[in-house]
Amino acid sequence: MLPIRKSASALMRRSLVAGGILALALGAGMPFGSRALQAQSAVDILETGSSLLYPLFNLWVPAYAKSAPRVKITTQSTGSGTGIAQSVAGIAQIGASDAYLSDAMMKKHPTMLNIPLAISMQMVNYNVPGLNQRHLKLSGPVLAGIYQGKITKWNDPAIAAMNPGVKLPDHTIIPVHRSDGSGDTFIFTQYLAFSTPDWANSLSFGTTVSWPAVSGELGAVGNPGMVTALQDNPYSVAYIGTSYQHAIEKSHMGIAMLKNRAGNFVLANARTGAAAAAVMVPKTPKDQRVSLIFAPGRESYPIINYEYALVNSHQPATQTATALRKLFTWAIDPRGGNAPSFMRQVNFVPLPAPVAKLSAAQIAEIQ
């Protein structure tokens, strides 16, 4: 044993020395860090979760900071699963999520609030060389077939029937799904479940589902990871939030037209999003936990959802509670965070007045 122990410790010593050099090199950046610490403000708010809501929060924070300089808001794009987990654990003050908490989770954490801050939409994107400007038509059952491995080629009769006149390639489809807990997975699988009985009975919906094994399929982390996976893999298909539509357009990826409940193929835009919202708003209950997916109506876009802030109504410090109430009140205000200037940049739909009223009632509960 002796030679091993000796050489192992020698190795350790050397790695420590080498590590020390790395640390010294990194340490050169220190003065900036300490200055940032000195400027620490009275209230710290951590927002984490949905990568779909993240771009909007990133626009909100600097704008809001002008009116509330003593509130320091940190934003993280981690995925709705993390938003849910860390907000119920009390690590983050705001858990951003595209999915509301389940009945069982609400039973376990009864003080949690699900407050809609805006309405977002989700695109189904594809990377089929030569066809990315065509807006291929896809439906829930076809997407379910693709993600179940029943439809494996782009020229499958089911896809061809929806896209007459389009020369579809004889190429294997690469379905890309989120591998982290994701609200995008939640709303996408709801679209599949509500439109395809077969999917509803087998995989149902959730922030994580047990994806069937499909040859070539990929898992990606976060909406940015989905965009990268789509770009890097010709013949892939992915579901991505509309706040990434600029990234999709810039990289010339395809945006599919989706079949809605009325049987029409629609693209995600302000009109189709608002049409779906108008139908679903009256169905929103007081606690606002409701799915807006697969709305009826000729023009309705099928995948829209409330973007939730998950917040504990019992805050440990009144200061934090006050700061949160003010922030959310500003965020849902049509002259504040819900102003068209913000919504347009991320392709979200502002909260309709009746929903904003319900949100305001929930915001008042934060104490």
Partner 1 sequence: MSFRKSTAILASVVGGTLVVIVLFLTLYAWPAIRLNGIRFLGQNSWNLGSLYGNPITVRGQQILPGAHYGILFLIVGTLLSTAIALAIAVPVGVGAAMFLAEGVPSPLRPWMSFFVELLAAIPSVVYGLWGYVVVIPFLGHHLFPAMVRWLGFIPFLGGPAGSGYGLLTAGLVLTLMIVPLVTTTLRDALVSPQASSLREAAMALGASRFETLRAVLLPSVRRVLIGGSILATGRALGETMAVLMVSGNALNYLPGNIYTPISTMASFIVSQLDSALEDPTGMAVRSLAEVALVLCLISVVVNSFARFLLYYDASRA
Give the residues lining the site for partner 1 (CB under 8 A). Answer: 1, 3-4, 6-8, 10-11, 14-15, 18-19, 21-22, 78-79, 81-82, 84-86, 88-89, 102-105, 107-108, 172, 174, 179-181, 204-208, 210-213, 215-219, 221, 229, 232-233
With respect to partner 1, which residue has the nearer C-beta, 4 or 37?
4
SS3 240: strand
With respect to partner 1, which residue has the nearer C-beta, 89 or 161?
89
User: What residue spans of 257-304 are helical by DSSP H?
Assistant: 270-280
The sign of the dihedral angle between the CA atoms of 312, 316, 322, 326 is negative
Q: Chain-centre distance of CA 116, in angstroms?
A: 14
333-356 per-residue burial string, b: 16 or more CB within 10 A, e: under 16: eeebbbeeebbeebbbbbbbeebb
Bridge partners for 77 per DSSP = 49
In angstroms, what is the minimal distance from the CB of 139 to partner 1? 23
Q: Which residue has the tokens 């003593």?
A: 70
In angstroms, what is the minimal distance from the CB of 87 to partner 1? 11
Q: Which two tokens stand for residue 151?
A: 């439809």
In angstroms, what is the minimal distance from the CB of 134 to partner 1? 24
In angstroms, what is the minimal distance from the CB of 80 to partner 1? 9
SS3 112: strand
In angstroms, what is the minimal distance from the CB of 306 to partner 1? 15
Q: Are 330 and 57 in contact (CB under 8 A)?
A: no
In angstroms, what is the minimal distance from the CB of 247 to partner 1? 17
With respect to partner 1, which residue has the nearer C-beta, 101 or 321?
101
With respect to partner 1, which residue has the nearer C-beta, 15 or 41?
15
With respect to partner 1, which residue has the nearer C-beta, 175 or 302?
175
Residue 315's nearest CA partner among 361, 362, 367 is 367
With respect to partner 1, which residue has the nearer C-beta, 14 or 298?
14
In angstroms, what is the minimal distance from the CB of 226 to partner 1? 13
User: What residue spans of the chain are helical by DSSP H?
Assistant: 2-27, 30-38, 54-67, 80-88, 103-108, 140-148, 157-162, 183-195, 197-202, 222-232, 245-250, 270-280, 318-331, 340-346, 353-363
For residue 296, which amino acid is it? P
In angstroms, what is the minimal distance from the CB of 14 to partner 1? 4
With respect to partner 1, which residue has the nearer C-beta, 215 or 345?
215
For residue 261, which amino acid is it? R
With respect to partner 1, which residue has the nearer C-beta, 20 or 69?
20
Q: Which residue has the tokens 């954490």?
A: 109
